[in-house]
């Protein structure tokens, strides 16, 4: 079987899960608006008073969103205003609008010339911050080829293969790349630290008010998987997990909170229980399948194991999202936003060469352990209630 056939086969499961979940009506709260259509256009006259979650092949937003915006699409255009945070996942995106809080963006081609009041995070292959771009605080850009113009109000960090810096940065700048070029228009009011196997090309007319420190380092070959069906597979996997988490949170809010808290407050214990469960379940399933009587239980146990592994990634997404939000002192984020952030980080880390599988396994084990711990706790609690009732 060739690699193309393998990639197409790998899309089947996320597509089925994705279509199944989006065809299921959900009782979303009134403070949340969801849109799932092939093409979405929000005109200048339209205003959404609450948070907006959307998934589309093509999204064009020219209106105003009073809350947060979470978006996943193939093509994405933002010319309007988002009063809250922007979390966007796309293949090709043009962002010319205004974001009232912070922006977190993952895309293949990212063209940004808008305004962000606070922090900006971009991960992509081709990233271009154009001269009109205005970032209120810090920025972090990770990509293959990065052109950064515009104005950064705080510190700027860039990790890429090629970096071309042309803008103005009010704070410190740290660049890690194979090729680094600073144009004559560059103005850095803080320090410059560059890490590269090659000397940085700094124009003599560049303005750097602080110190300049260069470090010669080795960078391994970078292979970004932004080709073929990768992005579609990534998108469908992400939203299959994301919407599954939303469904579970809405249908079983109390149970979901218990499991999530296990992962958040007891990560090491959850990891240990997850490892034990992963080792014991295959043995249990094999033993059950030996006997004819145990086959039904074996099938149920196998289904439970697969479900636990899948759901473990969801709970791990909540865990990681909570940790990241608390690190940035954003402890009151909506649960769906923390899930969005956590799953995005997990799936992006999973693409890292050589080390990606480690992050996937660890995060899944933490989620699995939290799920098993909550299941055992619920069973013991229920058994105690039954025993007390019988004693009476």
The answer to whether residue 107 scores a pLDDT higher than 70 is yes
Domain that includes residue 197, residue range: 111-219
Same domain, 210 and 235: no
Among 219, 251, 268, the domain-final residue is: 219
Query: Residue 338: its pLDDT value, please?
Result: 78
The answer to whether residue 42 scores a pLDDT higher than 60 is yes
Q: Label residue 380 by pLDDT band (50, 70, 90).
A: low
Same domain, 364 and 290: yes
State pLDDT tens for residues 258-268: 776 766 677 77
Helix (H) or strand (E) holding 104: strand 103-112
State pLDDT tens for residues 15-40: 444 444 433 333 334 456 777 677 88
Query: Residue 210: its pLDDT value, please?
Result: 93
Same domain, 148 and 284: no
Query: Residue 379: its pLDDT value, please?
Result: 60
Among 199, 219, 239, the domain-final residue is: 219
State pLDDT tens for residues 208-217: 999 999 998 8
Query: Residue 6: its pLDDT value, please?
Result: 36
Q: What is the pTM of this model?
A: 0.60
What is the mean predicted confidence (pLDDT) over 177-184? Answer: 93
Same domain, 363 and 273: yes
Does residue 135 sit in helix, strand or coil? strand
Dihedral sign computed on CA atoms, order 64, 69, 71, 76: positive
Same domain, 207 and 254: no
| Overall size of the chain counted in residues | 392
Query: Residue 327: its pLDDT value, please?
Result: 65
The answer to whether residue 313 scores a pLDDT higher than 50 is yes
Same domain, 241 and 203: no
The answer to whether residue 7 scores a pLDDT higher than 60 is no
Query: Residue 17: its pLDDT value, please?
Result: 41
pLDDT winner (highest mean) among 32-36, 201-205, 328-332, 344-348: 201-205
**Nearest of 104, 105, 60, 66 to residue 82 by alpha carbon:** 66
**% of the chain beyond a pLDDT of 90:** 32
**% of the chain beyond a pLDDT of 70:** 74
Task: Round the average pLDDT of the chain to a whole number and report it.
Answer: 78
Query: Residue 133: its pLDDT value, please?
Result: 96
- 42-69 in b/e form (b: 16+ CB < 10 A) is beeeeebeebbbbbbebbbbbbbbebbb
Same domain, 369 and 275: yes
Same domain, 212 and 261: no
Question: Helices 253-265 and 267-290, interaxial angle, to 10°?
Answer: 110
Query: Residue 125: its pLDDT value, please?
Result: 82
* Cβ–Cβ < 8 Å for 366, 359: no
Among 47-51, 170-174, 188-192, the least confident range: 47-51
The answer to whether residue 253 scores a pLDDT higher than 60 is yes
Same domain, 214 and 301: no
Farthest-apart Cα atoms in the chain, separation:
87
Same domain, 270 and 352: yes
* Cβ–Cβ < 8 Å for 151, 168: yes
What is the mean predicted confidence (pLDDT) over 330-357? Answer: 73
The 8-class DSSP code of residue 101 comes to S
What is the mean predicted confidence (pLDDT) over 41-47? Answer: 92
State pLDDT tens for residues 122-167: 988 889 999 999 999 999 998 889 999 999 999 999 988 899 999 9
Same domain, 308 and 239: yes
Query: Residue 2: its pLDDT value, please?
Result: 43
Among 166, 199, 219, the domain-final residue is: 219
What is the mean predicted confidence (pLDDT) over 370-388? Answer: 65
Query: Domains in the chain: how many in total?
Result: 2
Q: 3-state secondary structure string, 191-256?
A: CEEEEECCCCEECCCCEECCCEEEEECCCCCCCCCCCCCHHHHHHHHHHHHHHHHHHHHHHCHHHH
């Amino acid at each position: 079987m060739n690699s193309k056939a393998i990639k197409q086969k790998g899309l089947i499961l996320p597509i089925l899960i994705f279509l199944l979940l989006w065809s299921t009506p959900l009782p979303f709260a009134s403070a949340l608006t969801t849109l799932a259509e092939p093409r979405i256009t929000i005109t200048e006259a339209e205003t959404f008073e609450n948070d907006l979650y959307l998934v589309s092949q093509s999204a064009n937003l020219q209106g105003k969103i009073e809350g947060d915006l979470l978006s996943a699409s193939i093509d994405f255009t933002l010319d309007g205003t988002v009063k809250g945070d922007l979390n966007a996942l796309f293949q090709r995106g043009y962002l010319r609008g205004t974001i009232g809080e912070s922006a977190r963006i993952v895309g293949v081609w990212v063209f940004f010339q808008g305004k962000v009041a606070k922090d900006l995070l971009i991960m992509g292959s081709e990233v271009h911050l154009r001269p009109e771009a205005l970032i209120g605080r810090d920025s972090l850009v990770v990509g293959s080829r990065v052109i950064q113009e515009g104005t950064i109000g705080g510190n700027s960090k860039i990790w890429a293969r090629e970096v071309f810096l042309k803008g103005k940065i009010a704070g410190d700048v740290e660049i890690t790349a194979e090729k680094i070029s600073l144009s004559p228009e560059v103005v850095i009011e803080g320090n410059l630290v560059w890490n590269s196997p090659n000397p940085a090309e700094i124009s003599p007319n560049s303005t750097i008010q602080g110190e300049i420190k260069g470090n010669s380092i080795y960078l391994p070959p970078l292979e970004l998987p932004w080709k073929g069906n990768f992005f579609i597979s990534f998108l469908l996997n992400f939203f299959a997990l994301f919407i599954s988490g939303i469904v579970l949170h809405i249908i079983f809010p109390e149970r979901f909170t218990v499991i999530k808290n296990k992962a958040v407050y007891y990560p090491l214990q959850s990891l240990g229980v997850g490892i034990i469960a992963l080792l014991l379940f295959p043995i249990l399933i094999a033993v059950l399948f030996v006997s004819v009587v145990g086959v039904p239980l074996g099938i149920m146990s196998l289904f439970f194991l697969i479900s636990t592994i899948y759901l473990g990634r969801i709970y791990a997404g909540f865990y990681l999202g909570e940790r990241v939000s608390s690190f940035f002192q954003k402890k009151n984020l909506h649960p769906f936003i923390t899930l969005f952030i956590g799953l995005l980080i997990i799936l992006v880390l999973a693409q890292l060469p050589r080390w990606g599988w480690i992050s996937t396994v660890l995060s899944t084990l933490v989620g699995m352990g939290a799920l098993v711990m909550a299941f055992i706790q619920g069973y013991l609690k229920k058994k105690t209630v039954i025993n007390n009732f019988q004693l009476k």
